[in-house]
Amino acid sequence: MATLSGCGGGESRPADPDGAQGPRGPVVAALPATDPTRLPGVGDRLQRRIPADSGQVLVVYGESEDSADSTVVLYMKEGPEWRPVARWAGHNGRNGWTMDHHSGDDRSPVGVFGLSDAGGVLDDPGSRLPYDQDAYAYAPTIAGEAYEHVFDYVIAIDYNRWPGTPPHDPRRPMGDDRGGGIWLHLDHGDGTSACVSVPKEAMRFLLRTLDPDRHPVMVMGDKRELRA
């Protein structure tokens, strides 16, 4: 079985107890509201890397370079304009963010990544993404009640992996030293090894909403790097 990106350690910081929140406007200092064709708080460098045919973007706004706290916002394209659909409190790597991720640094990679495959311990909740149910492959690698359900549902973040394979596929195209097994998964109230975590209801909503035909991607990083 592949070694998964287990999450744990560090000081506990409770996540948003209400889970998914209804549609709201941008949650960070945004680009001018007069330009809804651009994602708020995302500068040209990353904006240009979003595929032209992408109609769904999940933006992870990290609080700062060394913070494990983030806000996750789903945007959907209506014509040429991006509209916020939902937002949640979340977590990222316990040491924050990096432009040069390596295995064991406990930082999440900054960038634009596809969201192509899903899976988990639990049965498929109605995912539009290909879903791989396997209680053994997605068993948590860290003991403790807080981590018991973190991989009930996961969505692979396409960093150093082959899209079109189950999230637990161990192959690393850039080499093992560059890390891998970076997922979107259930929150346990603290920072992760490199993954992004959100409440359970957020995961269920995203699995039922992210549509391969709309080529969903994740734009993730701390606010400063996102704006660059």
Average pLDDT for 25-44: 69
Mean pLDDT of the chain: 88
Question: What's the pLDDT band for 34 if we cut at 50, 70, 90?
Answer: low
pLDDT at position 54, please?
98
Task: Reply yes or no on whether the pLDDT at 23 is more than 60.
Answer: no
Return the closest-CA partner of residue 166 out of 122, 215, 116: 116
Average pLDDT for 141-169: 93
In tens, the pLDDT along 93-148 reads 999 999 999 999 999 999 999 999 999 999 999 999 999 999 999 998 877 777 89
Cα 86 from Cα 75, distance rounded (Å):
8
Cα 115 from Cα 55, distance rounded (Å):
12
Burial (CB count within 10 angstroms: exposed 0-12, middle 13-18, buried 19+), residue 57: buried
Domain coordinates in residue numbering, the chain: 44-227
- Fold entry, domain 44-227: L,D-transpeptidase catalytic domain-like (2.40.440)
Q: The pTM is what? A: 0.86
Task: Reply yes or no on whether the pLDDT at 183 is more than 80.
Answer: yes
- 111: β partners: 220
According to DSSP, the β-strands at 183-186 and 196-198 are parallel
